[in-house]
Structure 1
């Protein structure tokens, strides 16, 4: 009988006003939590997606992931290079891969993503796939907005989405200003 027991390592990332749980499997970062949410959010997600796995706090193992996220928060990183382990359906993976192609500091609509993956009629399904994204920030679902330009749902809450978009826009604006100096 095959042993499906695996270890999911986790830590709590504290940086300035950011406070999120992150977790990794042996394959890479598998979870980035919502701002200021309890450990239960992570534990419930692991129970659903990695049944039988053991959650083990391992700050040292997660340090490379923490470092990249901190660089992002410090406006020193626009792209993530870390290994990521996102498990979803083929459709969800297509959506999440499309999210990773949205340039830093820019936004697309749900319709844009549906068109990008070749499923223009699947706008609602795209929204559902985005809502199931386990890797907030690193798979940048915060860069997806409504067709009207309005900020729409976000697992981490609209306040977190606004903060992430503002952080990126400020960085892009500062970078463009520096280019003209």
Structure 2
């Protein structure tokens, strides 16, 4: 059984989802893939985990790095879960490129290379936004593409973390906007 709760962030409403293992979803309302993995039968209920998640988000949106972790339950494919685990290692206020993640996945699998586009597909389907920081992934050329919550939210999250935005840009067009 999955449970849901709502959180009002400074940059938009957020839907939280969890099961008995951990958080299964943190989506900005209206984002791409919104609540895609949410069970049709779910219940709105305030769980202790939601209380902790909201505390984490309050700290985060105050411009500070939360000093505790939350139990997560990844429900993607093995490849997606592997990519999402790597996302959890990207430090607050820093970024990583899709290519760097692809190299890390390839090394872990003993492969000569891995497609950065495949990594981008997994990053884009991250169900636990912000807490699993997919907003910290950028293009090799500094392009700020590929955030399901919207590019403007990605920019605000990176600015909130005081990431060095000097070499980043929002592309004028493209499929990943």
TM-score, normalised relative to structure 1: 0.78
Q: In the alignment, is the contact (CA less than 8 A) between 2:105 and 2:114 conserved in 1?
A: no
Residue 155 (str. 1) matches residue 143 (str. 2): no
Superposed, which structure 2 residues align to 1:56-75 within 5 Å? 56-61=43-48, 62-75=50-63
Q: Cα RMSD (Å) of the superposition? A: 2.2
Question: Please, which runs of 5 or more residues in structure 2 have no aligned partner?
Answer: 164-177
Q: Is the 8 A contact 1:79 1:104 kept in 2?
A: no
Separation in structure 1 between the aligned mates of residue 123 and residue 75 of structure 2, nearest angstrom? 13
Count of residue pairs brought into register by the alignment: 157
- Distance verdict in 2 for CA 1:150–1:114, change over 3 Å: same
| Structure with the larger helix share | 1
Runs of 4+ more than 6 Å apart: none
1:40-68 Cα distance to aligned partner (Å, 9 max, x none): 932x431xxx4xx5221113442111111
CA distance in 2, matches of 1:121, 1:15: 35
* Residue of structure 1 equivalent to 2:10: 16
- Give the unaligned 5+ runs of structure 1: 1-5, 171-181
